[in-house]
Structure 1
Amino acid sequence: MTASAAPETGALLDVADIFEALPDAWLILDAEATVVAANRAYLALVACEREAIVGRSIYTINQAGSTAQREARRQWLESLLADGAPGESRLAPPIRYDLALGGNGALVPRYWQVRATLMRTARGEALYGLCVHDITERMEEEAREQRERAKLRSQARLRQVLVDEANEQLRMQQEQLQHALAFASVGAWELQTRTGVFTCNEQFKTLLGLPGVATITERRLFEELIDEEHRERVRSAFDAARHTDTPVEVDFRVTWPNRQRRWILLRATRPRGSETIEYSEQENAPPAAVSIIGLALDISMRKESELEHQAAAVTERAARERSEEATRAMDHFVAAVSHELRSPLGAIQSWATLLQRSADVAHMARAGTVIERNARQLALMVDDLLDSGAIATGKLSIELAPVDLGALAGNIAEDMRMRIEEKGVRLVADDLDSCVVMADEKRVRQVIWNLVSNALKFTEAGEITVSVRVHGEHAELCVRDTGRGIGADVLERIFERFYQAAGSGRVSGLGLGLWLARSIVRLHGGSIRAHSDGVGKGATFVVTMPRYR
């Protein structure tokens, strides 16, 4: 060897020393799978001498395993070394291959895993580097873990069998309970207050008019199933059941999809010893149960009987009140008639006596005027009484003919102007559209006269406005005053027969004028309504009648 080659020799010796000192077990093979080198770690791992393996094929060394193991080892090595690419590293799967590591020749179970790397020398020769790992301890640990898992699975299966048996017994008991509840038409349910979902039997769903596959939630119960007028009361009962140990009972009505109405009696309580939670949205609120249990029963027949009795009692009470009110109205009517008749009759009698005793022409003319006025008032009252009787018995007849409502209202306003202005009240009748309606002129005149007279009675100062306007297919007569007005509590009653508002002050009349006006307008296919902003703010009466085409 020349001097120039010395450094190379030193480098090779350094590499060999490093190879020998590697902690992992290494074999170097040539392209023919012949062992070229083995380090100390490998020799110690397989308990053999270097001369026993170097220069021999990898397939012939360490042939201690059984025939089946040797064949499996050969195939394992062939797949590891076949068709390698330079620089490629392959990790073989674990394999069992037993070795005779003891002095007695007995085989010791061992598990191996190899990483093979194909390398090229400077001269282009192919070498395989095999890093051999004894993974026996790891495989034995995995085997122990598998046995432990199998044992746990066996215990779990045993527990599952016991659980299944207990569940089967529970299922049979539940079926018996469900049959009993179904036979008695009783619905059983449990509400989870955290989720708002009901767990219930089919009978409970049937009571609410739902199919067996339906899902019931607290929101659906209160927003869809329970009739609206009962929801707040049932919600209060549920809140009480959440926070107290006292059972709660409440009834409510539901309307099924086929529009059939049923009454349900519901009893609810929270389970004894149940878990509780604090509702954070309500500060200092009492603890509430996480679930509520209860039963439901159809009480439609009983409830309908109760409602019938209540309705009968209400009807009887209303009839008694109407009878008493009719009696009071009749007493009031008799008193009013007596008073209203006495005044004009007294005036007629007094002035008739004066005529007999005085020959003064001035007194005679005045007496005639007073007697005529009071006689006219008596005639109007008698006509109202006769008309009220005819209307009450359905015998009031009307003769329809085209009538100009605006012209008729203007004529009546002019006829009453002097009487109105004598009282110091201003009459405005300048907004009178010409509008023809099919009506009985005499009866419509009576309506307008009564409305204007009524306005005059209750107006001490200010003005009375009469107007007629056309609104599409209808004519609208309006009589507005600035008088005493009408209280909201009596506005709907002023059209009742014989009604006179209490506290309105004594005014002449029998309480028939507005009732007659409404009855006559209705006979003509029209309507009448009243409006007032309150006492002291005047009143407005509006008559609407169909136009004549």
Structure 2
Amino acid sequence: MSSAFHDAGNEPRREGRGGDGAAHDQARASANDGALLPVDTAYLFEVLPDAYLILDGRNVVLHANAKYRAMTGRTLAEVVGRSVYDINQTGSAAQRAARAEWLDATLRDLAQGEERLSSLIRYDMTTDGSSAEHYWQVRVSRAPSPPAASSVAPGGLLLLQLMDVTNQVVTEEQTRREHAKLRSQARLRQVLVEEANEELRQNQARLDEVLAFARVGAWELDLATGYMVCTDQCKANMGLKPTDILNEARLFTELIHADDRERVRAAIDASVAARAHFEVEYRVVWADGSTHWLMSRGAGRHLGDGSAQSLIGFTIDITARKTSELRSQAYAAEQQRAREHSDRAVRAMDHFVAAVSHELRSPLHAILWWTTLLQRAKDMAHVERATEVIERNTHQLARMVDDLLDSGAIATGKLSVELRPLDLAALASVVAEDIRVGAESKGLVVRVESSTTAVVLGDESRMRQIVWNLLTNAVKFTDRGSIGLAVAIEASRAVLTVRDTGAGIETEALERIFERFEQARGEGTGRTAGLGLGLWMVKNLVQVHRGTVSAHSDGPGKGALFRVELPLATPDDIRRAAAQD
């Protein structure tokens, strides 16, 4: 059937190119008379920019154009004459079954002249022994068979356009994650603003309450005799009874706090000399020994000759206000510390954004460069190298995105774990084997120094993440030497240690390396590749498992030791976990 179809499609081409010069002259004359020139339809199908298959009424492939063959890596001999259901069987068994159902839904009951666009499907392709994730759509239409091919395809022909929409799907997924991250950040900012506004409202309410209970007392001091006339409220503010006698001598020798007397006297003398009002705050000591704050404001009364006769003014008990002020000062100091902490967080965020931009840009540039090379170069020798580079950088991007999503879940308290009994030593040994190749490529030796069976209650994937982050952190900051991993039991706790001979950690940096966006850097080094989330995530994941993590180092260039302690699983823990299963 394939041969008959090709002959039918090639007949116009042979007619257009065959014959002698007279035939060509006749063809040109026919064209000048308005007749159609011969067209090589098989050639046009071959050079179409999209991937196409032609199927007969039984869904057998009659022809595949060059774009299809290049996209799928198949030759004509591998697809022509075979059912469309049987070609390109590279996905998993589940994917192949889903592909068959997908084709059924797309091709079933397709009427003459009808065009149909399939749904989206994931179907992985295997190239040079490695499988890559791919997403596809097809557009199919049914047309009557040409007369020359009616015997080959009596039921008509199916024209099937194959479209690789992987890049579109990946881009949409990345966009969705970015939008989700932005929404999360916006919500977090909104919560912080609401909390700050609420705290501000509470402080304002307290201040209003203090002012509502303020009490004012009036007084007059005769400068010649030192005698004071005071209202009952003024005496009450001084801690006196309404019947008590008050004068200047008693005020400055008994009532005003010794530390404030000179300052109050200086304010009064300056007011009299300048013929201006004064305002001064001071403490008074009541008979019960308690200390109260007062604020006095007054001005002089002068005789006709300009000499001062007396001072008049008012006194307010500002103890509550002063207490509030002291609280406010303490609050302001706390706010200053909070602002400094916020500034550090903003700087860390700036460093983080710069790191994310750099870390994302590097693999993206590698992927785009190799993709462009594959599109422009026809040398198949580049395919294996390009696939390897693209796959490696795609995995790197995926790990960074996973870290960002996990950090968001931790920060918002939405990280969930499923605790089951597991052997920490066995899990750690497996992870050590996983990173061994990467470590050895740097010339490092990875040793499992001791491995004692230690059963803990943990989420297996999160425990892997803890060990993986500690080991990859050691590999990152170690240029030569070795990395040691050990699991032991101390008392009722499992202890995992990761030791390296790398750059070491400065003493002052040990306190902050577990903070978000922070990195432990050796002296004289710049920021190391990464997002600064690894150790922060280790700390939070260990805390979720009711454990602790600490870091130790003798200083720059002397390596580092990370120690994780987790409670051992008790028999009751194991029985409860088994009952849940």
TM band (smaller chain): 0.3 to 0.5
Which of 1 and 2 has greater Rg? 1
| TM-score scaled by length of structure 1 | 0.45
